[in-house]
């Protein structure tokens, strides 16, 4: 395959989606769970424009090619997973070597050498005393492991979560989904009933906007909870919920509250961690001392790998005297995923991509902010590092803007419960000319979609 200039702009050969992509989407509609086809149809109704997607066939660095040979710039980094860029050569080499040597082992029963290497690496990376790790595949596996750890450790079934929070859609994390009640409702009879919600500070106007008000709201929710709370699960910055930054000191005070009330603080760093927000772990940079940290997305360098990393004394709760491995799975510690994660972590730390994300993200935010003077439809540009959000003035508006940008060759995703936020999470390696090149495309799109 031809090498490509990492800073090459988008290049579209057909309208998006092209005829080949449309043919694939028709096949998709006939074979995929109808939920996704229905969503496309609803979005089409909402925005008056087709929502058929391009169909990916290849990706490298910040570029994605579709089946019609259109080349896009991916400002979503594949939902944040391609933090080191798609198909980073060192990650690919590690996967190829591992796949040729050992693709699968006996999970918890007979581990692979590379699984042991990854566990050690993670325990060293997350600065918790005597850290221990449970690996998973998706982000929601890590949250599920953290929730189980909390109940084993504290004996308390209750969980305090936040409005706007998103932790994955498996049954454990789904019960904590404050992002949209609609995700929980059809399954509510099957979900943990011991969950209460507090407002995420800054998500909506009101008492929880200030630090003192947010803490008071949490205390009220906690006091009103019907069950003893053993865990508080929080995103250091709301990601899917709309890129919302809490006031300074919030994470630190939340940790103190947890300690005072005998609950574990679980920091969900699946989106914010491993460099995206300018720090390897944002919760710790914000002064919190979490008991458990959940990692995913960027961890696998594009392979499905997640991790629940906890303090040694907390994780000791798993030491069942009956000797049962209460939490395992066929693919636990999959060797190919472990090799990919080790390579991705090496790239992240060797190239200090966290520091780069902070520097490049700050500059880009300033450039994005210049567009607010030209577009009344931009309410705010907010974020940290390369987790940025553009808050638009009307509900649903991000859907049209995402489509407009796609037609100009940029892949972005909508965020926020009322889809008013354009989420921008490019690979941390993105060449700056690509970030600059995005500005006129956004400018044009916003002019087209002015409301």
Ligand X SMILES: Cc1ncc(COP(=O)(O)O)c(C=O)c1O
Q: What minimum distance in Å lies between the beta carbon of 409 and ligand X?
A: 24
Of 66 and 235, CB closest to ligand X: 235
Q: What minimum distance in Å lies between the beta carbon of 420 and ligand X?
A: 18
Among left, alpha and beta (phi > 0; psi -120 to 50; other), residue 381 is: beta
The residue nearest ligand X at its CB is: 139
Q: What minimum distance in Å lies between the beta carbon of 137 and ligand X?
A: 8
Of 143 and 309, CB closest to ligand X: 143
As a whole number of angstroms, the distance between CA 44 and CA 52 comes to 9
Q: What minimum distance in Å lies between the beta carbon of 55 and ligand X?
A: 21
Of 138 and 377, CB closest to ligand X: 138
Of 25 and 137, CB closest to ligand X: 137
Of 74 and 268, CB closest to ligand X: 268
- For 183-201, b/e burial (b = at least 16 CB within 10 A) is ebeeeeeebbebbbbbbbb
Of 138 and 429, CB closest to ligand X: 138
Q: What minimum distance in Å lies between the beta carbon of 304 and ligand X?
A: 8
Question: Could you tell me how many residues make up the chain?
Answer: 451
Q: What minimum distance in Å lies between the beta carbon of 238 and ligand X?
A: 8
Write the CA distances from 245 to 61, 111, 203, 209, 356, integer angstroms: 28, 40, 8, 11, 20
Q: In what order do the strands lie in the sheet with 413-415?
A: 378-384, 387-392, 421-424, 413-415
- For 202-211, b/e burial (b = at least 16 CB within 10 A) is bbeeeebeeb
Q: What minimum distance in Å lies between the beta carbon of 426 and ligand X?
A: 16
Half-sphere exposure of 398 (CA within 13 A, CB side): 22
Q: What residue ranges bind ligand X (CB under 6 A)?
A: 79, 138-140, 143, 166-168, 235, 239-240, 268, 270-271, 296
Backbone angles phi, psi at 231, to 5 degrees: -150, 145
Backbone angles phi, psi at 247, to 5 degrees: -65, 155
Half-sphere exposure of 82 (CA within 13 A, CB side): 24
Of 271 and 391, CB closest to ligand X: 271
Residue (of 414, 424, 417, 419) closest to 365 by Cα position: 424
């Amino acid at each position: 395959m031809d090498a490509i200039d990492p800073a090459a702009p988008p290049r579209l050969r057909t309208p998006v989606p092209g005829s080949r992509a449309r043919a694939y989407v028709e096949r998709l509609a006939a074979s995929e769970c109808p939920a996704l086809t229905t969503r496309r149809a609803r979005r089409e109704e909402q925005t008056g424009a087709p929502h058929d997607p391009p169909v990916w066939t290849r990706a490298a660095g910040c570029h994605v090619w579709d089946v019609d040979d259109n080349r896009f710039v991916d400002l979503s980094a594949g939902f944040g997973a391609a933090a080191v860029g798609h198909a980073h050569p060192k990650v690919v080499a590690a996967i190829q070597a591992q796949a040729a040597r050992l693709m699968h082992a006996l999970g918890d029963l007979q581990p692979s050498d590379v699984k042991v290497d990854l566990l050690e690496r993670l325990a060293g990376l997350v600065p918790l005393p005597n850290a221990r790790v449970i690996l998973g595949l998706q982000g929601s596996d890590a949250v599920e492991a953290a929730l189980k750890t909390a109940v084993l450790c504290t004996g308390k079934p209750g969980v305090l979560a936040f409005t706007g929070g998103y932790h994955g859609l498996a049954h454990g994390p789904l019960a904590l989904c404050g992002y949209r009640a609609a995700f929980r409702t059809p399954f509510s009879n099957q979900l943990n009933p011991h969950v209460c919600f507090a407002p995420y500070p800054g998500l909506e106007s009101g008492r929880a906007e200030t630090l003192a008000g947010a803490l008071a709201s949490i205390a009220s929710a906690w006091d009103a909870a019907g069950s003893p709370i053993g865990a508080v699960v929080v995103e250091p910055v709301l990601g899917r919920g709309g890129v919302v930054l809490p006031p300074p000191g919030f994470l630190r005070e939340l940790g103190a509250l947890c300690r005072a009330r005998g609950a574990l603080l679980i920091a969900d760093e699946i989106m914010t961690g491993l460099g995206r927000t300018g720090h390897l772990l944002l919760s710790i940079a914000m002064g919190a001392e979490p008991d458990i940290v959940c990692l995913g997305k960027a961890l696998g360098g594009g392979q499905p790998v997640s991790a629940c990393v906890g303090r040694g004394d907390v994780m000791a709760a798993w030491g069942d005297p009956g000797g049962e491995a209460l939490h395992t799975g066929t693919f636990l510690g999959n060797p190919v995923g472990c090799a990919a994660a080790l390579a991705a972590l090496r790239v992240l730390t060797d190239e200090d991509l966290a520091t780069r994300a902070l520097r490049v993200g700050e500059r880009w935010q300033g450039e994005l902010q210049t567009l607010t003077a030209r577009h009344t439809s931009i309410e705010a540009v907010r974020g940290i590092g390369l987790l940025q959000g553009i808050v638009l003035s009307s509900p649903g508006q991000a859907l049209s803007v995402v489509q407009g940008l796609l037609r100009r060759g940029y892949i972005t995703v909508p965020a926020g419960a009322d889809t008013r936020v354009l989420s921008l999470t490019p690979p941390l390696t993105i060449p700056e000319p690509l970030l600059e090149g995005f500005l006129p495309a956004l400018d044009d799109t916003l002019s087209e979609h002015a409301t």
